[in-house]
Amino acid sequence: MQLQLVVGAAVVRAGRVLAARRTAPASAAGRWEFPGGKVDPGETLEQALVREIGEELGVTVRLDRWLAGEQPIGAYVLRVALCVLEHGEPTPTEHDRLRWLAAGELDDVDWLDGDRPFLSELSAVLTTLET
Ligand SMILES: Nc1nc2c([nH]c(=O)n2[C@H]2C[C@H](O)[C@@H](COP(=O)(O)OP(=O)(O)OP(=O)(O)O)O2)c(=O)[nH]1
């Protein structure tokens, strides 16, 4: 059986990345993630990313590039993409808090375990944008 893909959006603006705090399930509530979700059958990863971000934040994003690697998360595999905002201001429909984190603030939130391997490349990207 093929593992189902979950896509997360590392939305970057002005040298910061958008982190979102989960509300469910109870085991993940209060922990932080890249907004996104499961890829539906027949959907490309990019289509899933754009759809999920529209549903969860009410904004349109454009895919810049995928961060390196993929992370097993239980029955799923997580991939994370750098994205830029095209339309709208993020307003959470499922998360209870959003934060824009600079490179030096990435360790300030309690990320889901599967997200942590992406943070070093993300930090390098944000640091480049700051300079
Ligand atoms: N969206 C997202 N999910 C993540 C991340 N890291 C991580 O381990 N996960 C896990 C949590 C969930 O078990 C799974 C994705 O669940 P989800 O609830 O976001 O997916 P979905 O929007 O498609 O939800 P649903 O329709 O199935 O309820 O991946 C991440 O950065 N973003």
Report the 3 state secondary structure along 17-68. Answer: EEEEECCCCCCCCCCEECCEEECCCCCCHHHHHHHHHHHHHCCEEEEEEECC
Residue spans of the domains in the chain: they are: 4-130
What pLDDT does residue 129 have?
86
Take atom 27 of ligand 1 and give the residue whose Cα is closest.
Answer: 38
CA 31 / ligand 1 centre spacing (Å): 12
The mean per-residue pLDDT over the stretch 5-16 comes to 97
Mean pLDDT computed over every residue of the chain: 96
Question: Which of 34, 61, 78, 79 is the pocket-test mutation for ligand 1 (most atoms within 8 Å of CB)?
Answer: 78
Indicate if the pLDDT at residue 1 is higher than 70. Answer: no
The pLDDT > 70 percentage for the chain reads 98
Take atom 18 of ligand 1 and give the residue whose Cα is closest.
Answer: 37
The mean per-residue pLDDT over the stretch 90-109 comes to 98
Residue 33 phi, psi dihedral angles, 5° rounding: -150, 175
CA 90 / ligand 1 centre spacing (Å): 18
Give residue-wise pLDDT tens across range 81-93: 999 999 999 999 9
Domain 4-130 annotated CATH 3.90.79.10: yes
15: left (phi over 0), alpha (psi -120 to 50) or beta: left
Beta bridge partner(s), residue 80 = 8
The mean per-residue pLDDT over the stretch 75-79 comes to 96
Residue 93 phi, psi dihedral angles, 5° rounding: -105, -20
Running DSSP on this structure, what letter comes out for residue 15? T
Running DSSP on this structure, what letter comes out for residue 2? P
For residue 57, count other CB atoms closer than 10 A to its CB: 24
What pLDDT does residue 54 have?
98
> At 130, is the pLDDT very low, low, confident or very high (cuts 50, 70, 90)?
confident
Find out whether 123 and 103 touch, Cβ atoms under 8 Å: yes
The answer to whether the predicted template modeling score (pTM) of the entire model surpasses 0.90 is yes
Give residue-wise pLDDT tens across range 15-31: 999 999 999 999 999 99
The mean per-residue pLDDT over the stretch 75-80 comes to 96
